[in-house]
Structures are given as C-alpha cells and as structure tokens.
Chain A
C-alpha cells in the first residue's frame, strides 16, 4: 500500500513537472497579448488575419493574441489584471479612462521620441491618452456623436436642424406622437435608448456655456449653466413623456434610426445603418443645441490602446512598436473600412472622405463642433451620481435646486477623496 502510494506520488510529480515544459515548448519566444473591448467577429478577424501577420513580417519571433470582452465586464476584468499585476500587454480603454487608470499605466514618452507621425494625431486625441503629462498609450479611433435626424419623418418638412435649446424643445414637441398613453413616435431619443444619458448631460452643460469644474477644481454643478441644462433636459422629457406612467416605444428590430419610430437622437456610428444604405439620403446630422450663453457642439469619444504599468520595461519597445504599427495611416484607413472606426489621424481622412459622403459629413461636423469627452474626473463615481440625482429630478421627486446642491456637495466630496481637490 505504502509502496504503491509512493510510486503514484512520484509519477504524479514527474507528469506535473513535464507538463509545462511540453506546453511551453509549443509556444513562441515572445507573446503580445492585446485586450480589445466590444468589437464584433469581423473586426477581430481583421486583427487576426490581416494586421497580425503584417506585424509579424517585421517581428517574426512575436506571437500575437487577442483577448476580448464587452464593456459590461470591462471594469472587473481590468481591475483583476491590475490587482494581480498579470494581464495583457495592451488594454483597449474608453475616452474618460485616463483619469481612472492613469497611475496604473506606463509612461511611453521615451519610446515615442522622434516619431514624426505623432503630429498627425488630433491634439484632443493625444490629450485623451495623456495622464500626468505623459502619454500612456496611443489613440486608436474617435467616435463623434452628433444628433441624427430623420428628415423624412419631420412633422414640419420645412423645419431645420434645431441649434438652440428653445428650438430643440419645439422640434421634440412637434415630432412626438402619443396614443392611448403609449408612445407611437418619439421626437428625441438619448444614447442608450432612454431619455437621459449622463454623458450627454455633461455636453448640455457645455453647450449652455458652463463647465464641470471651477478653476479651483471644485464642481460647478451649482452654476446657472448647469441649471439651464437641467431645465432643458426636464422640459424635453415632459414633451416626450407627459407623465411618468406613459409607456415607451414598442421594441423594434435593428437600429433605432431605421425604425421609423424615432425622429432624432444620439447614436454611435456602429449603431447606425451601414453608410451605403439609401436611408442616409434622409438622415441629417446636427450638433447638440446650445443655451443662451453657449455654442453648439458635438462630443467626440476617443478609444485608445493603453500600456499597463505591470508590463516589464524590457518588453515596452516591442509593445510601443505594435501601437505605432496599428495606429499607422494604412491601418487607420483599413480599420475605417472594416470596423467603421473614425481615425484620429488627419492624414487618414482624405481617403475616407473620398470613399463615403457620410463619413465626409461626419468628419466635417467633428472638425467644426468637436469637443473631446476627456478630463472627466472620478468618472466611475460621477456617472452614477448624475444618473441617481437627475433621475429624481426628472421624475418630479426632487427640486432643481436640491438636485444641484446634492450633486455639488457629493461630487466635491468625491473629488476631494480622490485627491483632485487639495
């Protein structure tokens, strides 16, 4: 019994020891792992079948692997890697994440020195990937989010694109149809399918002429511009939903823009019909309307590839080589064709403008009205705070003044706790 057990134990130990050697033997010498969030199979296949082989032509010893996931489990996944200090070499991040993960990302400035192509990137895109004065990655794409209008559904065919809060309210009121206490047609739909979106609310403060922060770093939620943006959001909601017990639109297949049930709204380009769809003849684009003291604008979201601080220094040159490769002019144009990405490099725009009039219009809008969604401090805590408090205000459970006061007090406390206010 004892002897049999000893033999079994020795065998198990030998097998355990051999297993990793055999496994590792099948792998390449260096592996680059890239975490990409929220892309479909077609886009991921482009990376695997086109981009990776092209990179391996100049780096034959490198194996490239994609890890993928959605935005839903993004935070938990990334937090896990950063906690354990063990994860992919490159992580795809959204526009406002530099403030959240900045201290946990590597400074790649030394590896970008002398790279001429850097000046081709939009300054707002480079700002987005910068934390504490140093680049933490490279911008991959931008997503300008204008308001889309279905001109063929306008109740008043002569109506133009509304550029002020007042005109926008008139437009939404005219184009909303309610029957039997249920929506039949919605004059306006916010990003996400509802009537309120925290990111858009921040844009409304900007178009009212306000800012999120005062010069001393405290929150400006108590400003007159914030109040104007709140009142506009409230009035627009009441034009769509006269009471909180009005039923929303029925579920529809495909994109909301093509549903014939929504006249205007904000969507990202990947939520819109394909750019060669004839429906685009009846789709207009416009900026977010402005308040009395502000100017219309379009929010521009920059998605970027970041380098975590746990990546060994010896591996950083290779990682940055890949970033430069994937952000090159050719790949920017290719990603536009495959995935509908809008490049952040201006030298890639010409080809895209020529290929599609829709993209040309979108780029023109971004140039004229674009403002990057960046420098949003403590964004992970700000978004639920705005959603919670604005929901109370919009559903008549809290006054405008109380909502402003609570948002101001609590966001200041969050900013102080996070070290933004000394």
Chain B
C-alpha cells in the first residue's frame, strides 16, 4: 500500500480491528432485530445484542477461517483446478473419477478407501478389545495400581511422535528387529509356540494378500456372490421355527441394513455414471420408496420426511444432470427422464394425504411394479452376456461337470464388475420382506418362502464357491489368454500355497502383506485413551449388581457379559464412534512410516487427498476426495447412532 512497511502494518491492523468491530456489532444488531421481530422483551433484546456482539469475533473468525474455506473447497471440487492454473468448471468429473475408480488416481483412491476401512473395521475392534482388557486389569485394587495406570497411559502421550514411530520401525525390522528376535527365540524354544507362530504368519499373509487383491479392484469371479449368499443363509437360518414378535422386528431391522447397503453401493455410482443410468435411477427410487413405506408403517414420521426430502433432492440432481450434460451425450434423453419420472412419482405421491390403508396399497403396488421392473427387466439387462445363465449353473452345480480346460465362458463372464453381488443383497431384501409381510397371518406361505429362499441361497452359494475355486485355479491361464492384469490375487495364491517354513518371519514394515497389520499394532499400543474411558465406566458399575448376581450363582463370565458389558455400553459406543472416525482419518503414522515401496499399501483416504493436493497440486480432485471422506464419515456415524439401541443409557 505504502513504501513504509511500518505504516502498512499499522493500516492493516487498524482495518482488521475495525472490520472485527463492525462485523461483530452488525451481528449483534442483526440478532437484536430478529429478537424484536419475534416479539422478545427489551431486556431479552439487549442481552442478545451483547451476547452476540461479544461472541462476534469468534463467529466472524469461524465464518472466515472455517466455513469460508470449507465452501471454497466444495466449489473447487467441482472444478479442474491445478495450482497456478485457472479454474475450469467440470461438474461431477472429479467425484466420478474417484468414485468409479477411473484412471491411476481413481484406482489409487479406491485402494486408499480400502486401506482406511481396514484400519476402521479391523483396527478399531482390536483397539477396543485391548483397551477393555487393559481397563479390566487396571480396575483391580492391587499395590501400585496408579503407577500401572500411568505406564499404560504413557503411550498416548508418546505415540504419534516421529521418534516413537521410528523406534517402532526399528523394533519391527524383519531381520534382527526386537519383535522378531523375541518371536523367533520363543518359536525355537517351544514346539507348540512354533506351530502357532507359523500359523499366525500363514493366516495373516493369507488374509492380507486376499484383502490386497480385493482392494485393487480385481474381479473375484463367482466368489463375489459367496459373501451376500452366506449372509443371506445365516439370516434365513435365524428365522427358522415359530414366528414371533422379536423375529418380525429383527427381520425388518435386517431388511433396513441390507437395503442401506444396496442404497450406499448404488446411489453414488448411479449418480456418477455418465450419462445417468436409468437402471440405477429406478433402483435408487425403489430403495427410497421402500424406506419411506417401512418408516411410515413403523410410525417414524420424522424419518419418513427425511427419506422423502433425500429422495427428492437425489431426483432433482438426477434430472438436472440428465438435462444439463448426461443425456445429450447418449443421444436420446427419453429413457433417462422416463426412469426418473417412474422412480420419483411414488415418492411425490407419498407426500400427500394421510397414511391410510388405501395409500399403503397404492404405494405398495407402485413398489411392486418398480421391483418387478428391476427384477424382470433390469437384472437380465445387467446380467447379459451369459451372467444370467450362471444362476441355473450354480443352482445345479453345472460348472463342476465341465472340462477344466474349457475357459471360454470364464473369460466372457467373470471379469464382471463387483456390483453384481449387490443384486443378491437386493434379492435377499425382497425375500425377507415377503417373509415378514406373510408373518403369522399366512404361516404356510411364510414357511414355503423361507425354505425356498434358503434352498436357493444354499445351492447358489455352494455352486458359486465351487466355481470360485475353479476360477482361482484357472487364474494364470485366464490372465495369460486375455492379457488383462488379473494377477492381483497371485499374492494370495503364493501366500497360501504352503505352510510357512521354520525360517519364516513377519516382514512387518517391508512387505505389503504386513504394513497394515503393523500400523494396527502400533495403534493398539497407544490405546490408553480408550482404556481410561473404559476404566471410568467400570468404576461406575455398582457393586450391588455383582453381589446380587453372585447370590444368584452367576460366574465370572456371566457377570462380565450380563452386567459389565451392558453397564459400560455407553463408553463402548463412544470409543467405537471416536475410534472409527480417527481410523478413517489416519495420516501422521502413514506419513512417517511409509517408504516408496509400501506407500500405496499404507495410504489412507486422508493421505491420498494430501498427495493429490499438496504433492501433485490437483486442488480440485483433492477437495473432492476430502468431501467424499466427509460424507463417508458422516454416514457411518449416523448409521452407528441409528443402530445404537444396544447401548444402555440407563446404566
């Protein structure tokens, strides 16, 4: 501004102070005006004015330094914005590349999300078990217990620091590291430990190599149908026998969870497809209508409204995208608009009138038509090229009779996208809904549907499993013939080909099969914060409950599961939610422990967005990755709260 730096600083500071005073007072006046408009007394207006004015500097700071950058990053995420270059509006392109796993960055993001889920789904339960175990030990009144508590808590203060993480790297060195030296000593001294140790290596390498192959997005072949199939079988088995109120409630609960999985898997990909896929639109409409009907039937008015609003927002976005860009690419927008209209109409209808028997019937018919459209028209459309023919093959074990050398159908059918498995979750939802609706009004029909469903999933899953094994056996041949990079389960095959020999050691920080377990191990070491919360909760469990249980003849195990666990469930819930969020945001430890060889197998979603933003300077895609991570964290947290009825807050 001026040539004198002192004068410049003075002017800037004066302007800043003036800005803060003006904006804070402005906020205060605004609050006062609103209070006057709402008819509050003069005294209340004055209080509000001073309260807001004094909080003004913080509010202004929050708006400028938190809300502002967040909105800016949301805007950047819709642009091709590389540092030093101008912005270019690209709409959902960044999200599409990441969610659909397109190109090198999309593939790496998919892998990073798998890594994050590894830390969350494997790391967090192990942390909870360790923390609870430590808390139970430290809840005993023995001499020096305070010192023990301090020692166990110490890693929380130390962990995360580069020095400690580097010390861990030395301790986990495969050759001569402290951990492996101890393990090898024990293995050479105790015969049984040696077998357990080698078994541990076998299981860990088998599991991690499978997970690594999975995270690289390879087709799993028929094995991908085994997971939903096995889950459906387990669920159906629990419904055998007499029908009861608890079974009915449980069935509807399971239907909601499965439907949520279907929705979570289809919604982002459906919206991201270019052009918008009419099939996905109908599936999404079906899922939303199902949730609305179910919520209305259970009397949750708020939830009905939430699903209606969410559905309408999704359809509005779909319509806008179709009209704006997606449909013209494909030539004719009619199929997309018809699909959107068909899916949106029942949701719109649900907004009007009271929930009478007539309204349920009407919407039920609409649901049935959409479901029929999906299962009769859409699924065959998706399962073309011989995939539909696999269903009777699996049901009749047809594939096992074929010559092992006949790989034609394998090449044509197995490189199918993993989303196909989602259809079997959807199928399970329909079967379960039929069972629940038939209930005890039509017991014979309910039993018939149950047995038929069970038989279907048993045969289908067994057939898929048998063929899946064949698929893995034929892996190299297929890869060699098709030239696709289908070797990603090669590590799984070599890792499980033979039981580890006596000279094998875990290659903790150097092998892609051990880096994620190493990180989980280091995180478990510093789980003292969770332990402290459990310890506080354990102290709050009344002794009278244990005494009453002892009088009734309860043993230690019964007391733990029937009294301790329910009583500390709020602490457990808190630790799970906080642990899950922290796990999904894992960054510092990866940043310090990674090497160029292991970076991809360690990288979390948070690390990915750091690399895209600050190393590769792609601000747009980095911002999109951060918003996807935000949505994933929010959705998982909401789901955890939604299904937290196991938490006993009266404890």
Contact = CB atoms under 8 A, between A and B. Distances in A.
Nearest to A82: B83
A284 B390 CA distance: 64
A395 B503 CA distance: 20
Given A248-B510, A387-B597, A21 B9 contact: yes
A384 B600 contact: yes
Contact of B103 (A80, A383, A391, A413): A413
B600 A387 contact: yes
Interface string B375-405: 0000000000000000000000000000000
Interface residues of A, number: 61
B175 A20 contact: no
B324 interface: no
A245 B83 contact: no
Interface string B162-174: 0000000010011
B194 interface: no
A221 to B, nearest CB: 13
A194 B597 contact: yes
Nearest to B476: A399
A80 B615 CA distance: 11
Nearest to A181: B503
A278 interface: no
A85 B273 CA distance: 38
Nearest to A75: B615
A180 B83 contact: no
B104 A250 contact: no
Interface residues of B, number: 54
A105 B511 CA distance: 40
Interface string A187-209: 00000111011100000000000
Contacts of B490: 396-397
A181 B485 contact: no
Interface string B3-16: 00110011011100
B17 A247 contact: no
Given A17-B14, A180-B503, A79 B614 contact: yes
Nearest to A102: B84
A58 interface: no
B332 interface: no
Contacts of A101: 84
Contacts of B600: 384, 387-388, 391
Interface in B596-615: 596-597, 599-600, 610-611, 613-615
B276 to A, nearest CB: 24
B6 A413 contact: no
A181 B504 contact: yes
B175 A182 contact: yes
A103 B617 CA distance: 13
Contacts of B479: 399
A376 interface: no
A247 B84 contact: no
A104 interface: yes
Given A244-B511, A251-B176, A395-B512, A20 B9 contact: yes
Nearest to A243: B494
Contacts of B615: 75-76, 380
Nearest to B592: A72
A20 B491 contact: no
A192 B483 contact: no
A100 interface: yes
A250 B483 contact: no
Interface string A90-121: 00000000001101100000000000000000
A413 B84 contact: no
B596 A197 contact: yes
Contacts of B485: 392, 398-399, 402-403, 406
Interface string A230-260: 0000000000000011011111000000000
A104 B84 contact: yes
Contacts of B17: 13, 16-17
A334 interface: no
A181 B10 contact: no
A101 B84 CA distance: 8
Nearest to A13: B17
Contacts of B501: 181
B10 A384 contact: no
Interface string B465-487: 00000000000000110011101
B558 interface: no
A103 B505 contact: no
A76 B504 contact: no
B84 A250 contact: no
Nearest to B614: A76
Given A20-B13, A380-B617, A247 B596 contact: no
A316 interface: no
Nearest to B505: A247
A198 B615 CA distance: 16
Interface string A66-89: 000000100110011011000000
A413 B106 CA distance: 13
Contacts of A196: 596-597
A103 B85 contact: yes
B174 A248 contact: yes
Given A183-B175, A391-B600, A413-B104, A245 B491 contact: no
Nearest to B173: A251
Interface string B482-502: 011101101100100000110
B591 interface: yes
Contact of A248 (B85, B175, B491, B596): B175
A24 interface: yes
B533 interface: no
Interface string A384-422: 110110011001111101110010001001100010000
Interface in A276-294: none
A7 to B, nearest CB: 15
A398 B484 CA distance: 9
A414 B500 CA distance: 42
Nearest to A388: B600
A385 B104 contact: yes
B632 interface: no
B244 interface: no
A356 B539 CA distance: 71
A393 B591 CA distance: 25
B84 A76 contact: no
A196 B487 CA distance: 20
B108 A388 contact: yes
Interface in B139-176: 170, 173-176
Interface in B568-619: 591, 595-597, 599-600, 610-611, 613-617
A72 B591 contact: yes
Contacts of A25: 6
B133 interface: no
A63 B310 CA distance: 60
Contacts of A21: 6, 9-10
A75 B591 CA distance: 13
B177 interface: yes
A251 B170 contact: yes
B507 interface: yes
A321 interface: no
Closest 9 pairs between A and B when the two form their complex, measured CB to CB: A250-B176, A181-B503, A76-B614, A247-B174, A20-B9, A247-B175, A410-B104, A402-B485, A75-B615
23 contacts: A13-B17, A20-B13, A24-B6, A25-B6, A29-B5, A75-B615, A79-B614, A79-B617, A82-B83, A180-B503, A182-B174, A247-B175, A249-B175, A250-B173, A251-B170, A380-B616, A384-B108, A384-B611, A388-B108, A391-B597, A396-B490, A410-B104, A414-B104
Interface of A: 13, 16-17, 19-21, 23-25, 27, 29, 72, 75-76, 79-80, 82-83, 100-101, 103-104, 180-183, 192-194, 196-198, 244-245, 247-251, 380-381, 383-385, 387-388, 391-392, 395-399, 401-403, 406, 410, 413-414, 418
Given A103-B85, A245-B500, A245-B504, 7 more contacts: A17-B17, A21-B6, A79-B613, A250-B173, A387-B599, A402-B483, A402-B485
